[in-house]
C-alpha cells in the first residue's frame, strides 16, 4: 500500500525502484501512475491493516466531521482525478470503481508532485470556519452538497457561497444584490476574457508561428546573405520580392523526378530487412539509391545534358522542395485524423492547430513499408550528396579543370557524412528523433531544407575561398575524423545495444537496469558524457566552418546556432528520459555527470 502524494489516501501499489530515502511506486490504476514517495508512505498490506485498525481505535473519540473529512472511504465526487487508482476502504478492503476523466494520459512523475489542493481540503477549511449554530449532521450534508457543486463547477466562489448563506439569513439578503452585481461583473469579465482569448493567439500558437517562419525562412535568408558577390551578415539580405524568382517549372520537374526515382529505388527488393515500430519491414538499401542517383551525373554529362542547371536553379529547387515539405506536413496533419491513438504524438495533439501542425500529430507515419521518416532521411542524404558533387563540377567548369584542394576537401567531408547517414540508415530507428518526435512541419521542412542549408559551407568555399595550406587541411580533416569517430561510434554502440543488449560484442559494456525494462549504458561512449553523438556532430560542423576560413562570419554563426540547438536538444531528450526512466535516469546522471564536455558541461 502506498500513500497517494499530497493526500491521506492509501492505494494498492507495487515498488518499482528505491534508494536510501525513497521508493518509486506504481499505483494499480488504469494509467499505472508512477510516483516517488517517502519510505514512511509505503507499507505492506498487513502492516497497513494493522496500523489502520489501531488508528481507528484511537480516533473514535474525535469529532465526527473531522473523522469524516479524513476518511478515505467517504464518497466524494471530487475523486474524479484521472489517475486515481482503485481505493481501499477500511476496515474491509473494498475496491471502488473510480470515475475517470480519461483520455488525458497521466505522466510518470519522478519528484512527488503535490497534487493541487483538491476540493476535499477546501471543504475542510470551510467546515472549520463554519458557524457553530448548525449541527454536525446538517453541516455534513452541506459539505456533501458542496463537494458535488464543487465538482460540477471548478471555482472557489461555488465553494464559499453556500457557506456564507448559512451564517445568517439577513446577511444573505443583504448580499443578494452584491452577489448579483458580482455575477454580472464576472459575467461581463468572462465575456471580455473569452473575446480576448478568441482574438489573442495562445502562447503555443505564437511559438509555433515563430518556429515555422524561422525554419522556412532561414535557408532563403542564408542563401541571400552569402551570394557570389558578397557574404556578410552585417547587411540585410536582399530578398527577391517576385514570385518567379522562387518558381520555375524546370525546378519542379527536377524535384519531382528526383523524388519519384528515390521512391522507386526505395521499393526495390534488395537489401537487409529491418522491422519498423508499426510491424512493417523496410529494406536498408539506401546505398543502392545513392550509387544509382550518383551515376546519373556522368551519364547526363555524357548525354550532353547540362547538370549545372541544378546549380543555376538552386533557389527555385530549394523553394520547391520546401513547399513540398510544407504540403507534406499539412497532408500528415489531415491524415492523423484517421490514425489510432497509440500512433499519435502527445505533443502534437493539443488541439492548437499551428502547434500541432508544427510538432506533428503522428510520430512515425508509414504507408506499409514506406516509412516517411526513413524515406525522408534518404532523400536528404542523397540530395545533399548530389548538391556537393554539383558544386565540385561547377568549380571544375569555372576554373577549366583546375581543382581546388580546399573545395575538394570541403565537399568530400560533406559527401562522406551523407554517405555515412545512408550506410548506417538503420540506426535512425533507435534515435530520439525517430522514436519520440512528431512528423510535422518542424520535421519535414527541417529535414528537406538540410541539403540546401549545409551546402552553404561548400558554396561559400566555391565562391570566396582562400586556399588553405596542406597542413591546415590535414588538421581540419583530422578534427573531422575525430568528431566522426565519436559520433558514429556512439550512435552505432547505442543502436547495437538497443537492438540486441545481449550481443556478446557488447558484453564488456556496463549498463543500469531501469523500470522501463530497457537498460542504460554507463560505460563506453555513453559513460564518458551523456550525449557523445552530439559533441561528435559539433566537431564535424566546426571542421566545415574552419574550411571557410575566418574572413566570413556566416559559417560561425551557423555553427553557433547549431550548438544552441544541440544544447536545447540535450534538455529535451533528458526530460523525456527522466519521465521514462525515473530514478534510474537520476542514477545515470549521477554516474555520468556531464552532458557534452566532461568537467565543463
Enumerate binding residues for ligand NDP (CB under 6 A).
Answer: 430-433, 487, 491, 494, 497-498, 518, 520-521, 526, 531, 533-534, 537, 562, 565-566, 569, 573, 576-577, 580
How far apart are CB 575 and ligand NDP at their closest, in Å?
Answer: 10
DSSP reduced 3-state for 12: coil
* Residue (317 or 577) nearer to ligand NDP, CB: 577
* Cβ partners under 8 Å of residue 109, min gap 6: 33, 34, 35, 36
Owner of C-alpha cell 548506417: 424
How far apart are CB 421 and ligand NDP at their closest, in Å?
Answer: 9
How far apart are CB 521 and ligand NDP at their closest, in Å?
Answer: 4
Owner of C-alpha cell 470556519: 129
How far apart are CB 390 and ligand NDP at their closest, in Å?
Answer: 23
* Residue (516 or 553) nearer to ligand NDP, CB: 516
How far apart are CB 592 and ligand NDP at their closest, in Å?
Answer: 7
DSSP reduced 3-state for 34: strand
* Residue (172 or 496) nearer to ligand NDP, CB: 496
* Residue (359 or 431) nearer to ligand NDP, CB: 431
How far apart are CB 585 and ligand NDP at their closest, in Å?
Answer: 9
- Burial (CB count <10 Å: 0-12, 13-18, 19+), residue 102: exposed
SS3 content of the chain, % helix, strand, coil (to 5): 60, 10, 30
Residue 34 pairs in a beta bridge with 26
* Residue (212 or 490) nearer to ligand NDP, CB: 490
Contact predicate 524/533, CB 8 Å:
no
* Residue (41 or 537) nearer to ligand NDP, CB: 537
Question: At CB < 8 A and 24+ separation, what contacts does 347-356 make?
Answer: 347/438, 348/438, 348/440, 350/204, 352/202, 352/204, 352/205, 352/208, 353/205, 354/204, 354/205, 354/208, 354/209, 354/212, 355/202, 355/204, 355/205, 355/207, 355/208, 356/440
* Residue (30 or 433) nearer to ligand NDP, CB: 433
Q: How far is it, in rounded angstroms, from Cα 50 to Cα 57?
A: 11
Max Cα separation, the chain? 104
**Cell numbers given for 380:** 536528404
Which of 370, 361, 287, 379 has the alpha carbon at shortest distance from 325? 379
How far apart are CB 558 and ligand NDP at their closest, in Å?
Answer: 10
Q: How far is it, in rounded angstroms, from Cα 417 to Cα 389?
A: 13
How far apart are CB 17 and ligand NDP at their closest, in Å?
Answer: 16
* Residue (49 or 589) nearer to ligand NDP, CB: 589
How far apart are CB 503 and ligand NDP at their closest, in Å?
Answer: 13
Contact predicate 26/34, CB 8 Å:
yes
Contact predicate 29/11, CB 8 Å:
yes
* Residue (35 or 534) nearer to ligand NDP, CB: 534
Amino acid at each position: 500500500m502506498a500513500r497517494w502524494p499530497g493526500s491521506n489516501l492509501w492505494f494498492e501499489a507495487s515498488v518499482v525502484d528505491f534508494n536510501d530515502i525513497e521508493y518509486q511506486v506504481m499505483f494499480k490504476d488504469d494509467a499505472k501512475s508512477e510516483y516517488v514517495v517517502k519510505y514512511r508512505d509505503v507499507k505492506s498490506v498487513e502492516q497497513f491493516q494493522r496500523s489502520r485498525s489501531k488508528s481507528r481505535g484511537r480516533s473514535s473519540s474525535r469529532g465526527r466531521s473531522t473523522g469524516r473529512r479524513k476518511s478515505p472511504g467517504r464518497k466524494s465526487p471530487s475523486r474524479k482525478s484521472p489517475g486515481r487508482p482503485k481505493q481501499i476502504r477500511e476496515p474491509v478492503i473494498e475496491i471502488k470503481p473510480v470515475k475517470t476523466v480519461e483520455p488525458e494520459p497521466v505522466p510518470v512523475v519522478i519528484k512527488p508532485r503535490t497534487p493541487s489542493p483538491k476540493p476535499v481540503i477546501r471543504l475542510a477549511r470551510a467546515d472549520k470556519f463554519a458557524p457553530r449554530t448548525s449541527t454536525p449532521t446538517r453541516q455534513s450534508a452541506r459539505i456533501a452538497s458542496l463537494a458535488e457543486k464543487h465538482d460540477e463547477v471548478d471555482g472557489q466562489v461555488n465553494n464559499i457561497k453556500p457557506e456564507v448563506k448559512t451564517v445568517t439569513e439577513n446577511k444573505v439578503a443583504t448580499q443578494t444584490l452584491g452577489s448579483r452585481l458580482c455575477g454580472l461583473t464576472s459575467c461581463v469579465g468572462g465575456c471580455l476574457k473569452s473575446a480576448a482569448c478568441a482574438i489573442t493567439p495562445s502562447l503555443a500558437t505564437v511559438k509555433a508561428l515563430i518556429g515555422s517562419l524561422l525554419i522556412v525562412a532561414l535557408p532563403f535568408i542564408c542563401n541571400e546573405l552569402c551570394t557570389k558577390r558578397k557574404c556578410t551578415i552585417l547587411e540585410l539580405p536582399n530578398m527577391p520580392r517576385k514570385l518567379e524568382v522562387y518558381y520555375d517549372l524546370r525546378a519542379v520537374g527536377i524535384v519531382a523526378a528526383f523524388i519519384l526515382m528515390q521512391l522507386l529505388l526505395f521499393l526495390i527488393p534488395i537489401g537487409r530487412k529491418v522491422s519498423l515500430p508499426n510491424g512493417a519491414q523496410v529494406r536498408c538499401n539506401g546505398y543502392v539509391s545513392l550509387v544509382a542517383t550518383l551515376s546519373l551525373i556522368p551519364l547526363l554529362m555524357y548525354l550532353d545534358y547540362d547538370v549545372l542547371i541544378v546549380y543555376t536553379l538552386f533557389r527555385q529547387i530549394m523553394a520547391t522542395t520546401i513547399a513540398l515539405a510544407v504540403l507534406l506536413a499539412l497532408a500528415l496533419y489531415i491524415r492523423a485524423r484517421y490514425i489510432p491513438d497509440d500512433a499519435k504524438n502527445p505533443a502534437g495533439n493539443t488541439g492548437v492547430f499551428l502547434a500541432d501542425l508544427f510538432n506533428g500529430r503522428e510520430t512515425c507515419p508509414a504507408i506499409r513499408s514506406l516509412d516517411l521518416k526513413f524515406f525522408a532521411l534518404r532523400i536528404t542524404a542523397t540530395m545533399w550528396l548530389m548538391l556537393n558533387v554539383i558544386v565540385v563540377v561547377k568549380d571544375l567548369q569555372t576554373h577549366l579543370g583546375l581543382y581546388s584542394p580546399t573545395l575538394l576537401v570541403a565537399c568530400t567531408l560533406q559527401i562522406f557524412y551523407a554517405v555515412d547517414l545512408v550506410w548506417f540508415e538503420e540506426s535512425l530507428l533507435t534515435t530520439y528523433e525517430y522514436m519520440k518526435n512528431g512528423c510535422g512541419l518542424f520535421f519535414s521542412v527541417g529535414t528537406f531544407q538540410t541539403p540546401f542549408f549545409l551546402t552553404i559551407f561548400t558554396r561559400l568555399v566555391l565562391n570566396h575561398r582562400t586556399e588553405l595550406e596542406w597542413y591546415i587541411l590535414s588538421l581540419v580533416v583530422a578534427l573531422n575524423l575525430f568528431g566522426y569517430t565519436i559520433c558514429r561510434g556512439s550512435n552505432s554502440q547505442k543502436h547495437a545495444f538497443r537492438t540486441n543488449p545481449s550481443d556478446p560484442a557488447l558484453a564488456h559494456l556496463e549498463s543500469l537496469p531501469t523500470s522501463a525494462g530497457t537498460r542504460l549504458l554507463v560505460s563506453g561512449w555513453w559513460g564518458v558524457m551523456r550525449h557523445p553523438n552530439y559533441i561528435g556532430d559539433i566537431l564535424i560542423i566546426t571542421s566545415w566552418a574552419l574550411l571557410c576560413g575566418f574572413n566570413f562570419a556566416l559559417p560561425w554563426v551557423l555553427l553557433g546556432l547549431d550548438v544552441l540547438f544541440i544544447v536545447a536538444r540535450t534538455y529535451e531528450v533528458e526530460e523525456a528520459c527522466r519521465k521514462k526512466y525515473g530514478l534510474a535516469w537520476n542514477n545515470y546522471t549521477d554516474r555520468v555527470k556531464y552532458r557534452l564536455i566532461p568537467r565543463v558541461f
